[in-house]
Amino acid sequence: MNKNLLLVVTTTLVAIVSIFLTSPTNLLGPPTIPSSHDHLHSAKILHVSGAVGPESLVFDPNGEGPYTGVADGRVLKWIAGDDGNGSWADFAATTSNRNECVRPFAPEMEHVCGRPLGLRFDKKTGNLYIADAYLGLQVVGPTGGLATPVVTELEGQPMRFTNDLDIDEQEDVIYFTDTSTVYQRRQFMLSLLTKDKTGRLLKYDKSSKEVTVLARGLAFANGVALSKDSTFLLVAETTSCRILRFWLHGPNAGKSDVFTELPGFPDNIRRNSKGEFWVALHSKKGLFAKVMLSNSWIGKNIVKTSTQLQATALVIIRRKGTCNCHKAERGRENPASPGRLRWKNIKVY
Protein backbone atom coordinates (compact mmCIF):
# COMPACT_ATOMS: atom_id res chain seq x y z
CA MET A 1 0.00 0.00 0.00
CA ASN A 2 1.57 3.31 -1.08
CA LYS A 3 1.81 6.25 1.24
CA ASN A 4 -0.94 8.31 -0.43
CA LEU A 5 -3.43 5.48 -0.29
CA LEU A 6 -2.49 4.74 3.29
CA LEU A 7 -3.03 8.38 4.18
CA VAL A 8 -6.46 8.38 2.55
CA VAL A 9 -7.53 5.17 4.26
CA THR A 10 -6.30 6.28 7.68
CA THR A 11 -7.88 9.73 7.33
CA THR A 12 -11.18 8.15 6.32
CA LEU A 13 -11.15 5.83 9.32
CA VAL A 14 -10.39 8.70 11.68
CA ALA A 15 -13.18 10.76 10.10
CA ILE A 16 -15.69 7.95 10.49
CA VAL A 17 -14.77 7.47 14.12
CA SER A 18 -15.01 11.22 14.68
CA ILE A 19 -18.55 11.23 13.29
CA PHE A 20 -19.57 8.49 15.68
CA LEU A 21 -17.98 10.30 18.59
CA THR A 22 -19.71 13.58 17.86
CA SER A 23 -23.12 11.99 17.32
CA PRO A 24 -25.82 12.35 19.99
CA THR A 25 -25.66 8.64 20.76
CA ASN A 26 -21.90 8.84 21.32
CA LEU A 27 -21.51 5.16 20.45
CA LEU A 28 -17.75 5.22 20.68
CA GLY A 29 -17.32 7.74 23.46
CA PRO A 30 -15.42 7.07 26.69
CA PRO A 31 -17.19 4.47 28.84
CA THR A 32 -18.66 5.21 32.21
CA ILE A 33 -16.87 3.87 35.28
CA PRO A 34 -19.00 1.76 37.64
CA SER A 35 -19.29 2.83 41.29
CA SER A 36 -17.85 6.27 40.58
CA HIS A 37 -18.84 9.55 42.21
CA ASP A 38 -19.09 13.09 40.88
CA HIS A 39 -17.31 14.96 43.67
CA LEU A 40 -14.75 17.04 41.78
CA HIS A 41 -17.44 19.34 40.38
CA SER A 42 -17.52 21.08 43.75
CA ALA A 43 -13.75 21.67 43.86
CA LYS A 44 -12.44 25.22 43.89
CA ILE A 45 -10.40 26.15 40.82
CA LEU A 46 -7.15 28.05 41.32
CA HIS A 47 -6.81 29.67 37.91
CA VAL A 48 -3.23 29.91 36.65
CA SER A 49 -3.28 33.28 34.91
CA GLY A 50 -0.73 33.77 32.14
CA ALA A 51 0.33 30.11 32.12
CA VAL A 52 -0.95 26.72 30.97
CA GLY A 53 -0.29 23.08 31.72
CA PRO A 54 0.08 22.92 35.53
CA GLU A 55 1.54 19.48 36.16
CA SER A 56 2.62 18.07 39.50
CA LEU A 57 1.31 19.62 42.73
CA VAL A 58 3.27 19.68 45.98
CA PHE A 59 3.27 21.50 49.33
CA ASP A 60 6.46 22.51 51.12
CA PRO A 61 7.46 21.25 54.61
CA ASN A 62 5.71 24.26 56.16
CA GLY A 63 2.45 23.41 54.44
CA GLU A 64 2.66 26.37 52.09
CA GLY A 65 1.71 26.14 48.43
CA PRO A 66 0.78 24.33 46.36
CA TYR A 67 3.67 24.55 43.91
CA THR A 68 3.34 23.49 40.28
CA GLY A 69 5.35 23.43 37.07
CA VAL A 70 3.88 25.06 33.94
CA ALA A 71 4.47 24.78 30.19
CA ASP A 72 6.74 27.82 29.84
CA GLY A 73 9.34 26.28 32.18
CA ARG A 74 8.55 28.02 35.45
CA VAL A 75 7.69 26.55 38.83
CA LEU A 76 4.94 28.60 40.48
CA LYS A 77 3.88 28.93 44.13
CA TRP A 78 0.38 29.69 45.31
CA ILE A 79 0.38 32.54 47.84
CA ALA A 80 -2.79 32.43 49.90
CA GLY A 81 -4.33 35.72 50.98
CA ASP A 82 -6.02 36.60 54.27
CA ASP A 83 -9.36 36.91 52.48
CA GLY A 84 -9.28 33.30 51.35
CA ASN A 85 -8.12 34.23 47.86
CA GLY A 86 -4.56 34.27 46.58
CA SER A 87 -2.30 34.45 43.55
CA TRP A 88 0.52 32.58 41.83
CA ALA A 89 4.10 33.81 42.07
CA ASP A 90 7.27 32.71 40.30
CA PHE A 91 9.29 30.39 42.53
CA ALA A 92 11.91 28.65 40.38
CA ALA A 93 13.18 27.98 36.88
CA THR A 94 15.27 25.10 35.54
CA THR A 95 17.35 27.19 33.12
CA SER A 96 18.68 30.74 32.95
CA ASN A 97 18.24 30.81 29.18
CA ARG A 98 14.75 32.31 29.28
CA ASN A 99 15.00 35.32 26.96
CA GLU A 100 12.71 33.69 24.41
CA CYS A 101 10.44 31.97 26.91
CA VAL A 102 7.66 34.53 26.63
CA ARG A 103 4.69 32.47 25.41
CA PRO A 104 2.59 30.39 27.82
CA PHE A 105 2.61 27.41 25.45
CA ALA A 106 5.39 26.86 22.91
CA PRO A 107 6.27 23.15 22.53
CA GLU A 108 9.02 23.97 20.04
CA MET A 109 10.81 25.92 22.80
CA GLU A 110 10.49 23.35 25.59
CA HIS A 111 14.04 22.04 25.14
CA VAL A 112 15.28 25.61 25.67
CA CYS A 113 12.92 26.83 28.39
CA GLY A 114 12.61 23.51 30.19
CA ARG A 115 9.42 21.72 31.19
CA PRO A 116 9.16 20.94 34.93
CA LEU A 117 6.97 17.90 35.54
CA GLY A 118 7.34 15.96 38.80
CA LEU A 119 7.99 17.96 42.01
CA ARG A 120 8.94 16.73 45.49
CA PHE A 121 10.23 18.51 48.57
CA ASP A 122 12.93 16.98 50.75
CA LYS A 123 11.33 17.50 54.16
CA LYS A 124 14.68 17.44 55.96
CA THR A 125 16.37 20.16 53.92
CA GLY A 126 13.44 22.03 52.40
CA ASN A 127 15.00 21.63 48.94
CA LEU A 128 12.66 21.14 46.01
CA TYR A 129 13.61 18.40 43.54
CA ILE A 130 12.33 18.88 40.01
CA ALA A 131 11.98 16.33 37.22
CA ASP A 132 12.41 18.48 34.11
CA ALA A 133 11.39 16.62 30.97
CA TYR A 134 14.36 17.96 28.99
CA LEU A 135 16.94 19.05 31.55
CA GLY A 136 16.82 16.01 33.84
CA LEU A 137 16.65 15.85 37.62
CA GLN A 138 17.30 19.23 39.27
CA VAL A 139 17.16 20.80 42.72
CA VAL A 140 16.49 24.29 44.07
CA GLY A 141 16.77 25.63 47.62
CA PRO A 142 13.87 26.48 49.98
CA THR A 143 13.75 30.07 48.76
CA GLY A 144 13.58 29.14 45.07
CA GLY A 145 15.47 30.73 42.21
CA LEU A 146 17.52 28.97 39.55
CA ALA A 147 17.65 25.20 39.98
CA THR A 148 20.91 23.30 39.60
CA PRO A 149 21.38 20.02 37.70
CA VAL A 150 21.54 16.74 39.62
CA VAL A 151 21.23 14.11 36.86
CA THR A 152 21.39 15.20 33.23
CA GLU A 153 22.64 12.06 31.48
CA LEU A 154 22.88 8.34 31.95
CA GLU A 155 24.93 5.65 30.20
CA GLY A 156 26.57 8.30 28.04
CA GLN A 157 23.28 9.73 26.74
CA PRO A 158 21.33 12.83 27.85
CA MET A 159 18.05 12.30 29.62
CA ARG A 160 15.28 12.56 27.04
CA PHE A 161 12.07 12.54 29.03
CA THR A 162 12.46 12.85 32.81
CA ASN A 163 8.98 12.64 34.26
CA ASP A 164 8.26 12.10 37.96
CA LEU A 165 10.02 11.33 41.24
CA ASP A 166 9.65 10.40 44.88
CA ILE A 167 12.12 10.66 47.76
CA ASP A 168 13.04 8.04 50.35
CA GLU A 169 14.32 10.31 53.10
CA GLN A 170 15.39 7.42 55.33
CA GLU A 171 17.79 5.98 52.76
CA ASP A 172 18.54 9.37 51.17
CA VAL A 173 17.70 8.22 47.64
CA ILE A 174 15.46 9.57 44.89
CA TYR A 175 13.43 7.33 42.62
CA PHE A 176 12.49 8.84 39.26
CA THR A 177 11.23 7.87 35.82
CA ASP A 178 12.62 8.39 32.35
CA THR A 179 9.55 8.00 30.12
CA SER A 180 11.44 7.16 26.92
CA THR A 181 14.97 6.98 25.56
CA VAL A 182 13.61 7.66 22.05
CA TYR A 183 10.99 10.39 22.32
CA GLN A 184 10.91 13.73 24.12
CA ARG A 185 7.93 15.21 25.96
CA ARG A 186 6.62 17.17 23.00
CA GLN A 187 6.59 13.87 21.07
CA PHE A 188 4.60 12.04 23.74
CA MET A 189 1.85 11.10 21.27
CA LEU A 190 4.41 9.28 19.14
CA SER A 191 5.52 7.30 22.18
CA LEU A 192 1.93 6.24 22.79
CA LEU A 193 1.03 5.45 19.18
CA THR A 194 4.14 3.37 18.54
CA LYS A 195 3.78 1.59 21.89
CA ASP A 196 7.32 2.59 22.74
CA LYS A 197 8.74 0.52 25.61
CA THR A 198 12.02 2.21 26.39
CA GLY A 199 10.95 3.78 29.67
CA ARG A 200 13.11 3.31 32.78
CA LEU A 201 12.81 3.45 36.54
CA LEU A 202 15.93 4.99 38.09
CA LYS A 203 17.41 5.48 41.55
CA TYR A 204 19.70 8.35 42.52
CA ASP A 205 21.80 7.98 45.67
CA LYS A 206 22.35 11.46 47.11
CA SER A 207 25.42 10.39 49.07
CA SER A 208 27.35 8.61 46.32
CA LYS A 209 25.69 10.59 43.49
CA GLU A 210 25.32 7.32 41.58
CA VAL A 211 22.35 6.49 39.35
CA THR A 212 21.09 2.91 39.12
CA VAL A 213 18.63 1.54 36.56
CA LEU A 214 16.05 -0.48 38.47
CA ALA A 215 13.84 -1.38 35.50
CA ARG A 216 13.82 -1.05 31.73
CA GLY A 217 11.29 -1.72 28.99
CA LEU A 218 8.46 0.29 30.53
CA ALA A 219 5.63 1.57 28.32
CA PHE A 220 5.59 5.33 29.02
CA ALA A 221 6.96 5.30 32.56
CA ASN A 222 5.18 8.10 34.38
CA GLY A 223 4.11 8.78 38.00
CA VAL A 224 6.12 7.44 40.97
CA ALA A 225 5.08 6.89 44.58
CA LEU A 226 6.84 5.18 47.48
CA SER A 227 4.76 3.10 49.90
CA LYS A 228 4.33 4.36 53.45
CA ASP A 229 6.67 1.69 54.87
CA SER A 230 9.11 2.09 51.93
CA THR A 231 8.87 -1.61 51.04
CA PHE A 232 7.71 -1.01 47.49
CA LEU A 233 7.45 1.61 44.79
CA LEU A 234 4.56 2.23 42.40
CA VAL A 235 5.12 3.36 38.82
CA ALA A 236 2.42 4.39 36.36
CA GLU A 237 2.75 2.76 32.95
CA THR A 238 0.60 5.11 30.90
CA THR A 239 0.36 3.25 27.60
CA SER A 240 -0.65 0.00 29.32
CA CYS A 241 -3.18 1.73 31.61
CA ARG A 242 -1.78 0.07 34.69
CA ILE A 243 0.28 0.61 37.83
CA LEU A 244 3.35 -1.54 38.40
CA ARG A 245 4.75 -2.41 41.82
CA PHE A 246 8.49 -2.76 42.37
CA TRP A 247 9.50 -4.41 45.63
CA LEU A 248 12.43 -2.70 47.36
CA HIS A 249 12.64 -4.62 50.64
CA GLY A 250 11.37 -7.85 52.16
CA PRO A 251 11.08 -11.36 50.68
CA ASN A 252 10.01 -10.01 47.28
CA ALA A 253 12.83 -7.47 46.97
CA GLY A 254 13.95 -7.10 43.36
CA LYS A 255 10.70 -8.45 41.96
CA SER A 256 7.84 -6.60 40.31
CA ASP A 257 4.18 -7.24 39.59
CA VAL A 258 1.04 -5.49 38.37
CA PHE A 259 -0.44 -3.53 41.25
CA THR A 260 -3.69 -2.71 39.43
CA GLU A 261 -5.13 -2.11 35.98
CA LEU A 262 -7.01 1.11 35.30
CA PRO A 263 -9.90 2.29 33.08
CA GLY A 264 -7.74 5.04 31.62
CA PHE A 265 -4.26 6.46 31.10
CA PRO A 266 -2.51 7.15 34.45
CA ASP A 267 -0.29 10.14 35.04
CA ASN A 268 0.85 11.15 38.54
CA ILE A 269 0.56 9.02 41.69
CA ARG A 270 0.51 10.50 45.19
CA ARG A 271 0.30 8.80 48.59
CA ASN A 272 -1.66 10.26 51.48
CA SER A 273 -0.97 10.01 55.21
CA LYS A 274 -3.03 6.81 55.45
CA GLY A 275 -0.85 5.01 52.93
CA GLU A 276 -3.53 5.18 50.21
CA PHE A 277 -2.57 6.06 46.66
CA TRP A 278 -4.30 8.63 44.49
CA VAL A 279 -3.85 8.34 40.73
CA ALA A 280 -4.75 11.03 38.19
CA LEU A 281 -5.94 9.73 34.83
CA HIS A 282 -5.14 11.73 31.72
CA SER A 283 -8.32 10.37 30.11
CA LYS A 284 -10.48 7.28 30.07
CA LYS A 285 -9.78 4.45 27.65
CA GLY A 286 -12.62 4.35 25.13
CA LEU A 287 -13.07 2.06 22.14
CA PHE A 288 -11.00 4.22 19.80
CA ALA A 289 -8.06 4.31 22.20
CA LYS A 290 -8.25 0.54 22.62
CA VAL A 291 -8.15 0.02 18.86
CA MET A 292 -5.31 2.50 18.41
CA LEU A 293 -3.16 0.87 21.07
CA SER A 294 -4.07 -2.76 20.41
CA ASN A 295 -1.90 -2.90 17.29
CA SER A 296 1.34 -0.95 16.96
CA TRP A 297 0.98 -1.14 13.14
CA ILE A 298 -1.92 1.30 13.28
CA GLY A 299 -0.06 3.78 15.43
CA LYS A 300 3.18 3.53 13.46
CA ASN A 301 1.37 4.22 10.18
CA ILE A 302 -0.41 7.24 11.62
CA VAL A 303 3.00 8.46 12.75
CA LYS A 304 4.32 8.06 9.20
CA THR A 305 1.41 9.89 7.57
CA SER A 306 0.96 13.32 9.07
CA THR A 307 1.09 15.36 12.25
CA GLN A 308 -2.54 16.35 11.60
CA LEU A 309 -3.64 12.74 12.01
CA GLN A 310 -1.65 12.49 15.23
CA ALA A 311 -3.40 15.59 16.54
CA THR A 312 -6.80 14.20 15.48
CA ALA A 313 -6.09 10.92 17.25
CA LEU A 314 -5.13 12.80 20.41
CA VAL A 315 -8.33 14.87 20.34
CA ILE A 316 -10.46 11.73 19.95
CA ILE A 317 -8.67 9.85 22.71
CA ARG A 318 -9.02 12.83 25.05
CA ARG A 319 -12.60 13.66 24.02
CA LYS A 320 -15.02 14.77 26.77
CA GLY A 321 -12.09 16.09 28.81
CA THR A 322 -12.29 13.86 31.80
CA CYS A 323 -10.80 14.68 35.16
CA ASN A 324 -10.41 11.41 37.00
CA CYS A 325 -8.96 10.59 40.38
CA HIS A 326 -8.72 7.03 41.65
CA LYS A 327 -7.94 5.85 45.14
CA ALA A 328 -6.59 2.45 46.14
CA GLU A 329 -7.24 1.50 49.73
CA ARG A 330 -4.32 -0.49 50.96
CA GLY A 331 -5.04 -3.92 52.40
CA ARG A 332 -8.39 -4.48 50.69
CA GLU A 333 -7.95 -7.03 47.94
CA ASN A 334 -10.04 -7.08 44.83
CA PRO A 335 -11.87 -10.46 44.76
CA ALA A 336 -11.71 -10.51 40.98
CA SER A 337 -7.92 -10.13 41.03
CA PRO A 338 -6.33 -11.68 44.14
CA GLY A 339 -3.25 -9.80 45.29
CA ARG A 340 -4.42 -6.54 43.71
CA LEU A 341 -6.15 -3.70 45.48
CA ARG A 342 -9.74 -2.59 45.15
CA TRP A 343 -10.24 0.87 43.69
CA LYS A 344 -12.54 3.63 44.83
CA ASN A 345 -13.23 5.94 41.92
CA ILE A 346 -14.00 9.62 41.75
CA LYS A 347 -14.73 11.13 38.36
CA VAL A 348 -16.03 14.29 36.80
CA TYR A 349 -16.88 15.02 33.18
Nearest to 35 by CA among 252, 336, 253: 336
φ and ψ at residue 200, rounded to 5 degrees: -135, 150
**31-285+319-348: CATH homologous superfamily?**
TolB, C-terminal domain (2.120.10.30)
Q: Where are the domains of the chain?
A: 31-285+319-348
* Calpha distance 99→250 (Å, rounded): 50
Q: Name the H helices within the chain.
A: 3-22, 110-113, 188-193, 287-294, 296-305, 307-317
pTM for the full predicted model: 0.82
SS3 of residue 157 by DSSP: strand
pLDDT in single tens digits along all 349 residues of the chain = 566 556 545 655 655 555 455 444 455 556 777 777 778 778 888 889 899 999 999 999 999 999 999 999 999 999 998 887 899 999 999 999 999 999 999 999 999 999 999 999 999 999 999 999 999 999 999 999 999 999 999 999 999 999 999 999 999 999 999 999 999 999 988 888 888 999 999 999 999 999 999 999 999 999 999 999 999 999 999 999 999 999 999 999 999 999 999 988 999 999 999 999 999 998 887 766 666 666 666 666 655 555 555 455 554 445 444 445 555 544 444 444 444 444 444 333 3
Residue 144 carries which side chain, given as an amino acid letter?
G
Side by side, which strands form the sheet with 148-151? 116-121, 128-132, 136-140, 148-151
